[in-house]
Chain A
Amino acid sequence: AQSVAQPEDQVNVAEGNPLTVKCTYSVSGNPYLFWYVQYPNRGLQFLLKYITGDNLVKGSYGFEAEFNKSQTSFHLKKPSALVSDSALYFCAVRPDQAAGNKLTFGGGTRVLVKP
């Protein structure tokens, strides 16, 4: 069975500083990995995905993530955080086996960017 762990419940960062949100995964086979962001009382918005190829993936709003197979990690990063990046972030995994489109989500990490 696949699983995703986001070890930090909350990350605080000053505006303009780098932001990192951690994610590790466990899945048999090759993983499809995703990051989503959720603003209050809204659904999830897709940020980026890793399927195959380059380990550094660039996504929306200046976010990027690095796939590290040996560490089974897919940390989300942004070089310079904005106050508007304050939100709830979810990492998700889908195995490459025929399991439908079902995603397994991590517990979420709340990001607070202070001015």
Chain B
Amino acid sequence: GAVVSQHPSWVICKSGTSVKIECRSLDFQATTMFWYRQFPKQSLMLMATSNEGSKATYEQGVEKDKFLINHASLTLSTLTVTSAHPEDSSFYICSAGSRTGYNSPLHFGNGTRLTVT
């Protein structure tokens, strides 16, 4: 089955630094990737939608200068949390969909737990 690899699985960084999270589709071309944020015991909050070769579309209330998304190829999207602060600590999950799979399920990475100290 389709596999999405997300790296790193966890990261601890100091306040003010930036952190990059990678999301790769390993065996299919991901025309669209989604980035979610999940707080403890809560549902997934969609942060942004990235389409290969174009700018990401951010959901309302998500700072695009804070959460930089790049989708430079059909197999890789990155989320960079810039100037991280403790309130950015969360579980970030990416998912990917293919151009042929509108009625197909999204495939999810295993998530990245970010802790900002």
Q: Which residues of A does B touch, CB under 8 Å?
A: 32, 34, 36, 41-46, 49, 51, 90, 100-103, 105-108, 110
- Give the number of A-B contacts (CB < 8 Å): 55
Residue of B nearest to A108 (CB): B43
Contact A101 B106 (CB under 8 A): yes
Within 8 Å CB of A90, what residues of B? 43-44
B105 to A43, Cβ gap below 8 A?
no
CB interface residues, B 79-115, toward A, < 8 Å: 91, 93, 95, 97, 101-111, 113
Report the separation of the CA atoms of residues A75 and B4 in the bound assembly, to the nearest whole angstrom: 27
> Count of chain B residues with Cβ under 8 Å from any Cβ of A?
27
Contacts of A49 in B (CB 8 A): 103-105
B42 within 8 A of A: yes
* Chain B residues within 8 Å of A36, by CB: 105, 108
In the complex, which of the residues B101, B104, B108, B113 contacts A44, with contact meaning CB atoms closer than 8 Å?
B108
Judge whether A102 and B34 touch: CB under 8 Å.
yes
